[in-house]
């Protein structure tokens, strides 16, 4: 679903308040869980968990720079770091984030 979200829904999710978590173990998440990670550089990443056991996710990156496009779909079937933690980077093979300053999990019903 993440790859088909319109830009307005991505903007909504970027701004949506949500309890902040210290860490998220990907293998413990349900298929379809939507994780938001905000980085020290100001970028926002969304990871839709496709296969928790294999740590596979769809990834969208929202760039903080005003000259860059607002959102960018990074791809499907990306293997991600097993544990997302505040202060650590997240590898989404083919890319890497800067250190994470905020982590949240959303339910798809919040944008339906």
What totals of helices (H) and strands (E) does the chain contain, helices first? 1, 9
Contact (CB, 8 A) for 78 and 90: no
Domain that holds residue 97: 2-111
Of 59, 55, 54, whose CA–CA distance to 37 is shortest?
Answer: 59
pTM of this prediction?
A: 0.86
The answer to whether residue 37 scores a pLDDT higher than 70 is: yes
Q: What is the pLDDT of residues 40-96, one digit of tens each?
A: 988 899 999 999 999 999 888 887 665 445 556 565 778 899 999 999 999 987 788
pLDDT at 68: 47
pLDDT at 64: 67
Q: What is the pLDDT of residues 2-34, one digit of tens each?
A: 777 777 888 888 888 888 999 999 999 999 999
Domain count, the chain: 1
């Amino acid at each position: 679903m993440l790859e088909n979200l319109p830009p307005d829904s991505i903007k909504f999710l970027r701004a949506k308040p949500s309890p902040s978590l210290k860490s998220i173990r990907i293998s413990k998440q349900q298929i379809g869980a939507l994780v938001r990670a905000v980085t020290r550089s100001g970028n926002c990443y969304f990871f839709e968990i496709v296969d928790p056991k294999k740590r596979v996710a769809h990834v969208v990156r929202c760039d903080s720079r005003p000259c860059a496009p607002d959102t960018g779909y990074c791809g499907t079937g990306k293997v991600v770091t097993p544990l997302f933690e505040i202060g650590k980077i997240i590898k989404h093979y083919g890319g890497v984030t800067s250190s994470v300053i905020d982590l949240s999990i959303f339910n798809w019903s919040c944008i339906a």
